[in-house]
Amino acid sequence: MLVIPGFLATDRATLGLQRALGEAGFHATGTSMGMNLGVKKDTLERILARLEAFAQGRKAVLVGWSLGGIYAREAAKLRPDLVAKVVTLGTPFSGDPRANNAWRLYEAIAGHKVDDPPIHVDVAEKPPVPTLALWSRRDGIVAPASARGRPGERDKAIEIDCGHMGFAVDAKAWPAIVAAIRD
């Protein structure tokens, strides 16, 4: 499993989740891409290079937290031959891109509008691989409907009881995340 961190996070923020996945029997690692400062022209190229190196000819599961889930979905669209499944954790892939409490900060740091990234994407379009959207009504950052998605935008959606940061850092949420991924 390749775990992709959310906006303003690094692999360090997802280490606990990576360990929990590892303890559950999955081979999990981060992206080694540094801090996620928003979409750049080369973001998907860098994710795909990391995916190719990690997958080594096999299909990998992409686990993306928040904005990292957008990257996971888009990478799967470009290289479905390398992706077994996409799991999003509180990822705003459905509806208005401003249906979250971080879009102003995102625009200030990323240097572009949330609805005008420097790459061509259709975030609501379902990748051609199985998708699982984990969402929380207690998220606090991303609107639940945006992270849950609509039928046709994802295959399955499961509610997890945690806040937005909890997807990556709350040890109480990890067993439910692991169980949902196994399902």
Q: Write out pLDDT tens, residues 74-89.
A: 999 999 999 999 999 9
Domain boundaries defined on the chain: 2-182
Q: Write out pLDDT tens, residues 22-63.
A: 999 999 999 999 999 999 999 999 999 999 999 998 999 999
* Residues 6 or more apart in contact with residue 8 via CB below 8 angstroms: 35, 36, 37, 109
* Residues 6 or more apart in contact with residue 95 via CB below 8 angstroms: 124, 143, 145, 146
Tell me the average pLDDT of the chain.
Answer: 97
CB 119 within 8 A of CB 44: yes
The CATH class for the domain spanning 2-182 reads alpha beta
15-23 and 174-182 are packed helices; what angle lies between their axes, rounded to 10 degrees? 50
pLDDT score at 183 = 83
CA nearest to 97, candidates 87, 106, 108, 109: 106
Q: How many helices (H) and strands (E) does the chain have?
A: 7, 5
Instruction: Tell me the residue type at 101.
Output: N
Q: Is the pTM of this model over 0.85?
A: yes
Q: Write out pLDDT tens, residues 94-130.
A: 999 999 999 999 999 999 999 999 999 999 999 999 9
Residue 53 burial (CB < 10 Å; 0-12/13-18/19+)? exposed
